[in-house]
């Protein structure tokens, strides 16, 4: 099983659609979870951390299921500017958060 | 408020040459991390440095790769005798304390011909 595995994508959706990304991780001892976005040929940027209780930031909702080792990201009312690659990121490095393991990413294109 | 600055943005080297990649962390950040993104792969941790110290190099290839973060100046990732398989995007990140979110630079894309 890969350390972090995401939907391969790509996803093409119309503006206003709801889109969900799924991710699984292999290390049950993982402590921290994040979603990053990466625009084409740019640096990854932190979108949101993922908490056990689930968390929401505007149109974005992240969920964590530790028992299933599964993370999700839901984007509601998608905008053209949401077009990017979404990276599932897991900290496998114990107490510190620098040893991040990134998934390959899922490319999202939002069409007018 | 400059972010993490990396240079060069693009670097082309022939097989056997040396590549030097530079990273200046955000102002006030004393912790630097290097990641590599191979084509069609996710980013992978390489090394974590503080000023004049390598804290964790568990992700660095054992040969040809080295990193430093001197007291003055940027952090340098050095790849000696490059091979085609070294072609990748190399991202640097920095943070204030190590348990803070990482801020990534815009990367150096190395192409080995």
| Mean of all residue pLDDT scores within chain B | 92
- What is the CA angle A72-A75-A81, rounded to 5? 130
B102·A45 Cβ contact <8 A: no
| Cβ–Cβ < 8 Å for A33, A64 | yes
B31·A98 Cβ contact <8 A: yes
Q: Which residues of A touch B91 (CB under 8 A)?
A: 43-44
pLDDT-derived band at A81 (thresholds 50, 70, 90) equals: very high
What gap in Å lies between CA A106 and CA A102, rounded to an integer?
11
Shortest CA distance from A37: residue in chain B = B104
Provide the 3-class DSSP secondary structure of residue A36. Answer: strand
Most trustworthy range by pLDDT among A24-33, A70-79, A92-101, B47-56: A70-79
pLDDT-derived band at A85 (thresholds 50, 70, 90) equals: very high
For residue B45, what is the DSSP state?
A: E
pLDDT score at A47: 94
pLDDT-derived band at B107 (thresholds 50, 70, 90) equals: very high
B102 touches chain A (CB under 8 A): yes
Shortest CA distance from B44: residue in chain A = A101
Judged against a pLDDT cut of 90, whether residue A22 lies above it is answered with yes
Stretch B35-61: mean pLDDT: 92
Stretch B40-52: mean pLDDT: 90
pLDDT score at A62: 96
What gap in Å lies between CA A41 and CA A84, rounded to an integer?
10
pLDDT score at A28: 86
B45·A99 Cβ contact <8 A: yes
Stretch B87-112: mean pLDDT: 89
pLDDT-derived band at A53 (thresholds 50, 70, 90) equals: confident
Judged against a pLDDT cut of 60, whether residue B1 lies above it is answered with no
Stretch A7-26: mean pLDDT: 95
pLDDT score at B96: 81
Provide the 3-class DSSP secondary structure of residue B76. Answer: strand
What gap in Å lies between CA B45 and CA B57, rounded to an integer?
9
Judged against a pLDDT cut of 60, whether residue B45 lies above it is answered with yes
Judged against a pLDDT cut of 90, whether residue B65 lies above it is answered with yes
Residue A101 distance to chain B (closest CA, Å): 6
**Residue bearing the bigger pLDDT, A83 or A97:** A83
């Amino acid at each position: 099983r890969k350390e972090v595995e995401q939907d391969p994508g790509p996803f093409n959706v119309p503006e206003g659609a709801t889109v969900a990304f799924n991710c699984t991780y292999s290390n049950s001892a993982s402590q921290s979870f994040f979603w990053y976005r990466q625009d084409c040929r740019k640096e990854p940027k932190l979108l949101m951390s993922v908490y056990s209780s689930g968390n929401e930031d505007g149109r974005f909702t992240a969920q964590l299921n530790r028992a299933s080792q599964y993370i999700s990201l839901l984007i509601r009312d998608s905008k053209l500017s949401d077009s990017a690659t979404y990276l599932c990121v897991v900290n496998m490095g114990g107490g510190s958060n620098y040893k991040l393991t990134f998934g390959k990413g899922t490319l999202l294109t939002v069409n007018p | 408020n400059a972010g993490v600055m990396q240079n060069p943005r693009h670097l082309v080297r022939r097989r056997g040459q040396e590549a030097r990649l530079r990273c200046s962390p955000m102002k006030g950040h004393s912790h630097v991390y290097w990641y590599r993104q191979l084509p069609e792969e996710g980013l992978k941790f390489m090394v974590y440095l503080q000023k004049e110290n390598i804290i964790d190099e568990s992700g660095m290839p054992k040969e040809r790769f080295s990193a430093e973060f001197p007291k003055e100046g940027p952090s340098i990732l050095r790849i000696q005798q490059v091979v085609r398989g070294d072609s990748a995007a190399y991202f640097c990140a920095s943070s204030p304390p190590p348990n803070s979110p990482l801020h990534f630079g815009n990367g150096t894309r190395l192409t080995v011909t």
